[in-house]
């Protein structure tokens, strides 16, 4: 089984089988209460999946883009779960760009319903709230041969007032997302492992410069 964890928007966790069947999926839409709910959601998803921690063979970690603190909670939880506490199991953590899960959900839904026009040819952007009057977006077009969304550009930031113009200039459809489906995050991880691909970075995709800066050196005082 694969456990998916994402805290780039709300807090979402899921358990899937290796064949992609969703055993359980739970989430909290609160964009700020990640640390308060992640433990209880992990307990709940395992119970609903009829599993124990020893049944999990990989952990898919959503690496963002997203706010710094929220991302760190989910990534830390994924790594801690993989280490297995005192048991020291050391199972693999598979990093996944969080927007890939949304893109995969859109493309699979389109294949069934035609929800995206010409999904194999039309470029579209997954757009999520980045706070501070900005959005994060990633551009995709169709699926690769291994069943993973084809990313045309890496995640980037844009002002809310400018994103429509940015996308229109490239003829790119806008697809807003208010949640990250943890089950599709886990599916993307499973497909990446099967294809021998790395689809996410080792560290959080926090697209801004750190808020904290080193203090400037003290000015010399001349007597």
In the block, residue with structure tokens 């999926």: 25
Distance (Å, whole) CA 6 – CA 118: 29
Tell me how many domains the chain contains: 1
The verdict on residue 212 lying in a domain is no
Q: Encoding tokens for residue 6? A: 């994402």
The verdict on residue 48 lying in a domain is yes
The verdict on residue 202 lying in a domain is no
pLDDT for the residue 221:
55
pLDDT for the residue 121:
73
Domain that holds residue 97: 2-195
Distance (Å, whole) CA 160 – CA 175: 14
The verdict on residue 205 lying in a domain is no
Distance (Å, whole) CA 100 – CA 126: 8
Find the CATH number of the domain harbouring 82.
3.30.420.40
Alpha carbon separation from 155 to 113, 127, 208 (Å, rounded): 27, 10, 12
pLDDT for the residue 210:
55
The verdict on residue 86 lying in a domain is yes
pLDDT for the residue 116:
57
Closest to 27 (Cα-Cα) out of 43, 10, 8, 4 = 10
pLDDT in tens, the chain (223 residues): 999 999 999 999 999 998 889 999 999 998 888 999 999 999 999 999 999 999 999 999 999 999 988 999 999 999 999 998 545 568 999 999 999 999 999 999 988 876 655 455 799 999 999 999 999 999 999 999 999 999 999 999 999 999 999 999 999 999 999 999 999 999 999 999 999 999 999 999 998 865 545 555 555 555 5
The verdict on residue 24 lying in a domain is yes
Distance (Å, whole) CA 190 – CA 17: 9
pLDDT for the residue 212:
45
Query: Which element (helix H / strand E) includes 125?
Result: strand 124-131
The verdict on residue 220 lying in a domain is no
The verdict on residue 222 lying in a domain is no
């Amino acid at each position: 089984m694969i456990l998916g964890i994402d805290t780039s928007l709300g807090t979402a966790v899921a358990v899937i089988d290796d064949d992609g069947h969703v055993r359980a999926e739970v989430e909290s839409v609160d964009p700020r209460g990640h640390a308060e709910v992640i433990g209880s959601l992990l307990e709940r998803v395992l119970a609903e999946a009829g599993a124990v921690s020893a049944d999990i063979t990989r952990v898919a970690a959503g690496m963002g883009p997203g706010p710094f603190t929220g991302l760190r909670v989910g990534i830390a939880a994924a790594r801690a779960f993989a280490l297995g506490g005192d048991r020291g199991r050391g199972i693999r953590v598979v990093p996944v760009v969080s927007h890939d899960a949304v893109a995969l959900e859109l493309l699979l839904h389109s294949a069934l319903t035609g929800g995206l026009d010409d999904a194999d040819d039309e470029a579209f952007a997954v757009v999520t709230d980045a706070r501070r009057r900005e959005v994060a977006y990633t551009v995709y077009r169709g699926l690769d041969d291994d069943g993973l969304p084809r990313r045309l550009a890496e995640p980037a930031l844009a002002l809310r007032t400018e994103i429509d113009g940015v996308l229109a200039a490239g003829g790119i459809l806008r697809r807003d997302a208010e949640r990250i489906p943890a089950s599709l995050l886990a599916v993307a991880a499973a497909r990446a492992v099967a294809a021998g691909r790395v689809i996410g970075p080792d560290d959080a995709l926090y697209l801004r410069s750190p808020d904290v800066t080193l203090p400037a050196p003290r000015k010399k005082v001349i007597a």
